[in-house]
Structure 1
């Protein structure tokens, strides 16, 4: 069992408690496989043949265990049984109380991170800056092409926070070299997965080469706290089914298991273990009751998180708008450019996917 001791997981199973005070867990317990409610640790295979990555499984069934489920044998059949669901607490009506809960949870989570052998993936946005604030002696890393938004934002934020920033400058050779490694780690060749995973992989690879065993990341903040544009006006956005900001945010939270599987496998393949303080149970519990006005408005996203960061981070960092990593690093743009240079034109269906497949012999 990774992420929690067996006794804690047993108590959570007995009580039906989805948030028992951990940072996520997965593994084999009492003859069955168990994965936490948000799938913060990937888990694959069967109770008799399992692992934390698909390659750890020797038999034919290396499918992932769904988040919040146990996988067990029942009358000779392999069964996935849901044991936890994401809580749906009442909406908090006191804005000060809600922001206070977020502030206490986030500061407690990031301050509890062990800073030894640790680097921070740092884009200059409020998420990664909060993580970095908890480990003031850890170096910060950002990856991007020379004119990338993330590189500029990270430099500005690092200067404002007086932090050591190490820039991983990307080029086409780095992308082409890393694409097969990312595909091998994730098992996916679609352009979106690869363009998100590439900057994570290349940052982690550099941190590992510099001697760091762990990489702290801000994963989860956008999903939990209303960081996506599609949650701002969900009634008029066909990317979500919900019609309220809070409902759309919960919809996005449910996408976390798939995203975390991608990111965790990518980082491990690069040689580091991910550290995700903004996904601890206490932080999750503080986010779930937030009203829509403290999640996203037409003028501001991650409202409660930014208010919680005020007074701890420089104002310029609190207010910084962050781009998604594939765009902020310019990896998505340059992967498209490489695809077109290789003859995969935009008029072709899935032209970048096809280019990726060509790099791995698909």
Structure 2
């Protein structure tokens, strides 16, 4: 049963308050797909649903691709919405049988080692792997710029701004570079209509109070009202889970990790070691669980790969240096951020 959302009904005698943004988004999608055969990274949610409905009007052809298990939330929702849109749909199925090979291929193609990044980018990897079209369009950026993440809800102004900046920072420095490696690996052209210069300029002109979600149902309210105004109420009310959960990816990886007696991150690390470092860190010593800034992790591991060092080896070298020096006096501790 679909959940209802509180979408404001606009009187036909009143101008639509997001008319400018609506036109900008339509034009961005039109410019991206016009005269092309396009594949859509399709989750069955609001972002990809609205993008697909608009693309259908301008592209030579539109084919929807969804990555997920056969019974995952995204698979069920995508199949339902593809029928409503009357567009061809293909499931790029993941399962316990193939997910490890897919992860290894993705690691080799992108150099990505961050477990979180792998969990949510594996879906695009599988879509590009399955797609027959040379052009793939994605709704990436909608969560970060139209405030679709649950972490944006019920935040103080300071915390909201901090979360927003961190989300955009990760999008631009981690997600997009990984996705461009994926596209290059499969010879695809990857397009981001929600991140066009015109759309982002329009976002900056919106009232911040319209973007900041007051509750879970008001996330991405601008896009929901645009979908409603364009005549797609069934898209405006689409519920959505994060891709790693909606696709079933995280559940599969956790199950495989448990079978091997490993935690999620340990399992991903073992695959990274196997692919990037010839397995020379597999099964070594004790496990250290540490949380560091994701941007720092990505940038540091790029250097480690050039040095042919695994993260495990780098951490062990650091610990040995601490033992030798009897401390870490030579390492300047970063200042704590005010919260």
Structure showing the higher strand proportion among its residues:
1
8 Å contact from structure 1 (residues 326, 332) kept in 2: yes
Tell me what 1:60 maps to. Answer: none
SS of residue in 1 equivalent to 2:91: strand
Matched residue, 1:192? 116
Of 133, 149, 164, the residue aligned with 1:228 is 149
Structure 2: gaps (5+ residues): 1-13, 280-339
**1:318-337 correspondence to structure 2 within 5 Å:** 318-337=236-255
- Residue 26 of structure 2 is matched in structure 1 by 107
Q: CA deviation at 1:248?
A: 4.0
Query: Are 2:50 and 2:235, in contact at CA under 8 Å, matched by a contact in 1?
Result: no
* Residues 291, 96 of structure 1: alpha-carbon distance in 2 compared, 3 angstrom cutoff: farther
Residue pairs, 1:211-360, within 5 angstroms: 212-235=133-156, 243=158, 245=160, 248-258=163-173, 259-295=175-211, 296-298=213-215, 299-312=217-230, 314-345=232-263, 350-357=265-272, 359-360=274-275
Q: What is the distance in 2 between the residues matched to 1:167 and 1:99?
A: 34
Count of aligned pairs between the two proteins: 256
Instruction: State the match for 1:119 in structure 2.
Output: 39
Deviation of residue 308 (structure 1)? 1.4
Give the Cα–Cα distance (whole angstroms) in 1 for the partners of residues 159 and 270 of structure 2: 38
Q: Whose Rg is larger?
A: 2
How has the CA–CA distance of structure 1 residues 126 and 171 changed in structure 2, closer, same or farther, with 3 Å as cutoff? same
* TM value normalised by structure 1: 0.65
Q: Which has the higher contact order (CA 8 A, sep 6+)?
A: 2
1:172 aligns to 2:87 (yes or no): no
Residue pairs, 1:30-49, within 5 angstroms = none
Equivalents in 1 of 2:104, 2:64: separation in Å? 26
CA distance in 2, matches of 1:268, 1:203: 13
Q: TM-score, normalised by structure 2?
A: 0.70
Structure in which a larger fraction of residues adopt helix: 2
Q: Distance in 2 between matches of 1:215 and 1:170?
A: 19
After TM superposition, where is structure 1 displaced by more than 6 Å over at least 4 residues in a row?
A: none
Q: 2:69 aligns with which of 136, 139, 145?
A: 145
RMSD of equivalent CA atoms = 2.2
Deviation for aligned residue 1:286: 1.2
Change (3 A) 1:103 1:119: same
